[in-house]
Every structure is written in structure tokens, then in C-alpha cells.
Structure 1
Amino acid sequence: MARTPAPGTRRRILEASAKLFGEQGVRAVGMQQVIDATGVGKSLLYREFASKDELIAAWLRDSDAQWWEQAEQVTAPHSGDPARQILALMEFFQDSVREPDFHGCIYYNTSSEFRDPAHPGREEAKLHLKGLRNWWRDKGAQAGAEDPDALADTLMLIVGGTLANGEVLGAAGPARMALATTELVLRQYCPKALTAATI
């Protein structure tokens, strides 16, 4: 008789995978490590996730949902002020680099581990980063940027540089300039929206 998964099994697997993938990198973690970390049987793990690729994609989708919830929390207090929301989200990125368990961005990291554009992990990472770029663009347009696409691309460069440098050189390195650089960029693209009272 097939074993029925206990309530919360899928969540337990995803949480254990998130810890392992985040600390060691996706390629370095085997399914047996996930089994050992969760205490579920092999057949139960593969009933929830038919392959490691499927687990990777599910983990990134789950992480994406959680990330956007956090993004909403840090930007919601500035509703109606898109320029300040942009600054708040960049401050969130800068703060994340200061976390003791920061090992880089899981989306950039996963994308670099899987070069095949069709790999589920790379596809999910790309979706997340595209979603972030769209958020920057939309907020920039709301803030009056004449070229919101250029603003979004510039902010993506700041984010990528912050996360990459933060992982290698720490929060006291170039990553510390993320928020100040974003303010300069906003003054260039949205001069009417960013006032002394906004900062």
C-alpha cells in the first residue's frame, strides 16, 4: 500500500532544500542529502518531486513567492510614493547582504550553475529577475521617469553588483554604496519625484 505523505511533507522538503541549496549551491547537493535532512523516505521524496530538476524549480518558485511577500512588506509603508518605494527595496537588498547567512543571490547563483537556457532552474531564475526588472520599470514610470526601461536596467545593474560584491567582499565593500547610488540614479531619471523629503 502506498504511503500517504504526512501533512507538511512538501513544505519540509522545500525548507530543507532551501537551506542546503543556499549554503552549498544547487549542483553540490544530492537528493540523498535532502532525504537525510528531512527524514523522509526516498519514495516519498520522489512522489513529491519526480526529479532534482523539479525540486529545484519548485524551490525557486516558492522562494520567489516568499521574496515578493517580503518586498511588499518593505515597500507598503511608502504606498503612493514610488520613488521612495524604489529606495526602500534597494535598502532591502543592501540589508540582505549584511545577514550572517548571506551566500549570494539564489537566482543569479542558480542561473550561473545551469548554463542551458531550457534548464528549469535557469528558467525560474530568469522569471524572477524579469519580474524584478518589470517592478523597477513600473515604479519608475509611476515616479515620472522619462525612460523607465533605462532606469530599470540601471537598477538591475546596481542590484546585481550589490549581491555579487556582497557575497565576495562583504557588506562593508562596494555593496555599501547600493542605496546612495540608487539615490543618484533616481535624481537623474526622476528629478521631480525625488525631493529632500523623500529620502
Structure 2
Amino acid sequence: MPRKPDPGARDRILDVACQLFNAHGVHAVGMQQIIDEAGCGKNLLYREFQTKDDLVAAYIRRGRREWVANLEETAQQVDGPADQLVALVARVAEESTRPGFRGCFIYNAYAEFPETEHPVNRAAAENLEFIRESLYALARSTGAADPRTLADRLLLIIDGLKANGSAMGRAGAAAAAVTFAEDTVRDAVRPIGA
């Protein structure tokens, strides 16, 4: 007897996997734990994700979609690319100081999969480059004299937040990072001689 399609299965499995990976790390989570918590069978899991690496790569790709959603939402709520760049840093500051935040999933994936040819490492590298390029595109729109340097500096601020935000809290790293981003953007777009 053929199985009935379960159109929400892939997302349900991925939701559970993302929660577990964020909380415990990829290597600490077994496929059986995902099966148990997602309430699915082994066959369904492996029909949706042939290997654990496929599931982890989907987890990283989901992070990219969330970044794009943040970009789009920020563009709708904040006028001007310079203010949008600062607003993105503020969003990361807020996210990184939430209870239970366990660091940047990209760098966590790098740490767990250090081999550069591993599919998870490659997915993490592609995601980081995508974030860098999206910051660069916004930085170019500001009229900054050196938009690449502006984007890279903002990425370093974001990385610092993701590494230290939960430890230092909203009044510490988060507040300082947003102020630093404001100063960095202002200095980058200030006309020469101003």
C-alpha cells in the first residue's frame, strides 16, 4: 500500500533539526533523535533528506532565507541604505542577546565540519559569502568611498555580536556594537573633508 503524501513533513523535520542543532550542535544530535522529536518514521526522514549532511546543508540554507527575510523587512521599515545597514546590525544585536542564543550557526558549522571540501563546510562558506555580498550591495548604495571595506567592517561587528552577544548582554556588546556600526557607517559615507 503506497504511503500518503505528507506535504509538511520536510519543513517539520527541518524545524526540529534546526532547533536541535542550534541547542546542541550538529554532531551531538542523532538522526533517531530527530525522528523521535519530529514524529516521523525513518523512511520519511530519509526520503526527504538522504543523509545527515543533506539535512545540515538544508539547515544552513534556511539561515540564508532568514537573512534575506531580514534584509527585505529592514528595507520596508527603514529608509536609506546607510540606516538599513545599522538596522541590520541592531537586528543581529537583538537576536544574539536572546536567552538560549548559542552563537552563529555558520561558524558553529565551520567548527564542526572543518574540512573545506565537506558539503556542510561549503554550504557555510557560501552562506557567509552571501551575507558579505548583501552587505556590500547595501554599502555601495550608500555612496561610501570604499563600500567593500564598509561591508567587511560591518560583517566583523555582526560576527562579534554573534560570538559575544549572549555573554555580554544587551547593555554590553549589543549596545556598543550598534553604536560602533553607526559610527562606522557615518564615517564611511561622510564626504571627504567634512
Identity of aligned residues (%): 40
Shift of the alpha carbon at 1:111?
1.6
RMSD: 1.6
- What amino acid is aligned across from residue 46 of structure 1 in structure 2? Y
Question: In structure 2, how many angstroms separate the alpha carbons of the residues matched to 1:126 and 1:175?
Answer: 25
Length-normalised TM-score, structure 1: 0.89
Larger CA deviation: 61-70 vs 11-20: 61-70
- What amino acid is aligned across from residue 62 of structure 1 in structure 2? R
Shift of the alpha carbon at 1:2?
4.7
Matched pairs, number: 191
Query: CA offsets, 1:23-79, max 9 Å, x none?
Result: 111111110110010111111111111100000011211232133113311232224
Shift of the alpha carbon at 1:99?
1.7
- In the alignment, structure 1 residue 151 sits paired with structure 2 residue 150: yes
Question: In structure 1, how many angstroms separate the alpha carbons of the residues matched to 2:183 and 2:36?
Answer: 48
Find the counterpart in structure 1 of residue 8 from structure 2. Answer: 8
Larger CA deviation: 33-42 vs 104-113: 104-113
Give the conservation status (yes or no) of the 8 Å contact 2:60–2:123.
yes
Give the conservation status (yes or no) of the 8 Å contact 1:22–1:103.
yes
Find the counterpart in structure 2 of residue 197 from structure 1. Answer: none
Find the counterpart in structure 1 of residue 183 from structure 2. Answer: 184
Shift of the alpha carbon at 1:3?
2.7
Question: In structure 2, how many angstroms separate the alpha carbons of the residues matched to 1:85 and 1:106?
Answer: 23
- What amino acid is aligned across from residue 141 of structure 2 in structure 1? Q
Gap regions ≥5 residues in structure 2: none
Give the conservation status (yes or no) of the 8 Å contact 1:94–1:175.
yes
Question: In structure 1, how many angstroms separate the alpha carbons of the residues matched to 2:94 and 2:54?
Answer: 31
Question: In structure 2, how many angstroms separate the alpha carbons of the residues matched to 1:77 and 1:170?
Answer: 25
SS in structure 2 at match of 1:173: helix
Give the conservation status (yes or no) of the 8 Å contact 1:82–1:142.
yes
Question: In structure 2, how many angstroms separate the alpha carbons of the residues matched to 1:71 and 1:139?
Answer: 10
Question: In structure 1, how many angstroms separate the alpha carbons of the residues matched to 2:180 and 2:142?
Answer: 17
Give the conservation status (yes or no) of the 8 Å contact 1:110–1:121.
yes
| Residues 170/109 of structure 1: CA separation in 2 closer, same or farther (3 Å cut) | farther
- What amino acid is aligned across from residue 35 of structure 1 in structure 2? I
Length-normalised TM-score, structure 2: 0.91
SS in structure 1 at match of 2:27: coil
Find the counterpart in structure 1 of residue 73 from structure 2. Answer: 73
- In the alignment, structure 1 residue 110 sits paired with structure 2 residue 109: yes
- In the alignment, structure 1 residue 123 sits paired with structure 2 residue 122: yes
Q: How does 1:1-199 map to 2 (within 5 A)?
A: 1-79=1-79, 81-192=80-191
Find the counterpart in structure 2 of residue 196 from structure 1. Answer: none
Gap regions ≥5 residues in structure 1: 193-199
Give the conservation status (yes or no) of the 8 Å contact 1:103–1:167.
yes
Find the counterpart in structure 2 of residue 195 from structure 1. Answer: none
Query: CA offsets, 1:137-167, max 9 Å, x none?
Result: 1211111111111111111111111110113
